[in-house]
Amino acid sequence: MKWHDLNADACPLARAMGVVGDRWTLLILRECFLGVRRFDGFQKRLGVTRHLLAERLKRLETMGVLERHPYQQRPLRHEYRLTPSGKSFAPVLLAMQDWAEHNLPSPTPTPFAFVTRDGGEEVEPVVTDRKSGQELTHRTVLMVPKPATGQSAADLPTTDRAEDAALARPTAK
């Protein structure tokens, strides 16, 4: 399977991998959220090669996550800014950061924090259901194939699934 095939995949997660499925892209977005906007800013802070950085920025632009904005003529220079799509990526960063902080320990402390814009207090991200407000974790939520429109979920282990559901649920514990 080729890289580009992912962009057309039916699964949103696969399409997401077509955009952020590499070592650098998410870190570039992190820098965007930290306020970095220029080529050399990204390059110096990340240590990514200029070649790759140029390519990634181009991709993020064509995918509508960043947009280039001229900040001077003569010579013409652009800076990169988050589009609405890019800005709406923030919750993913929050969730990912929170997971990594709790599950991939490090001797050095986290070099940044998420704070409220008003107040400036540090936040603790939780994924919840908009309607019920219930916290969404592996214990409360289940991922199910949609046989809905069209195609197979045929090769999914149906017995294993039930087993798994039982296992993940706080049974006998």
Q: Which residues contact DNA (rule: CB under 7 A)? A: 1-3, 22-24, 38-41, 47-52, 54-55, 57, 74-75, 77-79
34 binds a copy of itself (CB under 8 A): yes
Pull the structure tokens for residue 116.
Answer: 């409220």
Q: CA angle 94-38-124, nearest 5°?
A: 15
CB 87 → DNA: shortest distance, Å?
Answer: 20
- How far apart are CB 42 and DNA at their closest, in Å? 8
- Among DNA, a copy of itself, none, what does residue 154 contact (CB within 5–8 Å per kind)? none
**Is residue 168 part of the contact set for a copy of itself (CB under 8 A)?**
yes
Work out the burial of residue 125: count CB atoms within 10 Å of its CB; fewer than 13 is exposed, 13-18 middle, 19 or more buried: middle
Q: Which residues, 6+ apart, have CB-to-CB distance to 72 below 8 Å?
A: none
Interacting residue with a copy of itself among 50, 58, 68, 169 (CB under 8 A):
169
Question: Does 62 engage in binding with a copy of itself (CB under 8 A)?
Answer: no
CB of residue 98 vs a copy of itself: minimum separation in angstroms? Answer: 8
DSSP string, 88-99: TTHHHHHHHHHH
First to last CA, the chain: 42
